[in-house]
Amino acid sequence: MASLSKTGAQIRDQFSEALKEYGAFDRTLDALSSLSFVLSEVKEIAEETELVDFRPKILPADASSDLYTPDALIVSKRCDFVLELKTSWNEKDLLQVVKYGKSPGFVSHEGKQRLFRSDRCVLLGYQNPPGQPNLDSLFGAWQSNKLPFPLVVFRYSLESAPEGDRMYFARVPYGPNGLCPASRLGDALNNPRGFPVSAERYKLHRSKFHKANDQVIASYAAVIWWARYVRHYLSEEQRSEMADKGRLSRPLVLKWEEIGTIPALAGVEVPLGLRDVQRALEFLAQAKLVSFKRRTGAYEIELKEDRYIRVPSDGPVPRGAAQDISIKILARWAANKVKAPLSQGGTKGRRSVRRGRQPRDPRQSTLF
């Protein structure tokens, strides 16, 4: 019994940690959705915004380096903003923001290089703002590189209010923290009270974001791929079987070279890429919903509707309580991660597929 109790505790710990990470990443996408709403539908901000790119590529200061991929680039009539969102502090943040600060320009949608204007700003958002020692290090690195424009650190958080949930943005109160250049967006971020965006308003933008620009955690990739992408690989016969029975009688076989053929989903501004799908399949394999057959170089996917997916009887949540597909997948992953961990290994992907952007929603409204 002692060993079973220890195993159960390990499963609960794995599940709790994965769920916490999953929730934090979900809030980051809420923040991107909120900013998408603000930049396209808040009249006074939308009118001065010339370009919003949530899949930007900015030029490196060192010609031998690859292009940088922050979470967003915002070009307004008065100034340019480079945006990066974080869950919490990481020592690599120092080098990252300095690289963004040294970047001379960006690549436009037409593939042309454009220089940043002198009136610009790097926006760095945290769910959990760093303490003063880390902020000291961050702004010390910024100042030592003599960058002639501001770095602005702000907090973003999902908060409950009597009128409903809202995403809240507020500049971190710290002496050396910068101020955004004068603009409608900059003024909102400079406001000591911050500003909220109701979930009711940004929810129409939420489905556009399956990840931040260049990263997605494996658990989130697994859930969104299972929920939104996998059915697009099915033949007409398999679609009919799923509609009739809610599951496939035989596993869906996805060959290694086929995982780069990623469906283009309508209305998605930042979709999963090849590496994201690889990580999703690895996570789902640990959850025992996917198996990789090395001999044939193919994934076999036990595709079924969410209601047919069962969590382990000795898992971290009771079977009857696990209704959400994310909870089910994370619970299965945690149980099997402890009881039947997969051996580390795999093969590198071969190619990625780039998808076109969708047009912006022309509707506008006021922020408050």
**Quick check: 302 and 251 in contact, CB under 8 A?**
yes
Using one digit for the tens of pLDDT, what is the confidence trace for 110-122? 889 999 999 999 9
Mean pLDDT of the chain, nearest integer: 90
pLDDT at residue number 344: 66
Residues with pLDDT less than 50, the chain: 1-2, 346-368
What's the alpha-carbon Rg for the chain, to the nearest Å? 22
81 has which bridge partners?
A: 74, 121
Q: 328 by DSSP, 3-state: which? A: helix
Nearest to 222 by CA among 295, 72, 327, 346: 327
Task: Determine the Cα–Cα distance for residues 156 and 83; give it in Å rounded to an integer.
Answer: 13
113-115 and 105-107 strand pairing: antiparallel
Q: What is the pLDDT of residue 354?
A: 38
**pLDDT for residue 314:** 76
At residue 229, the pLDDT reads 96
Domains and their CATH numbers in the chain: 26-206 (3.40.1350), 218-339 (no CATH)
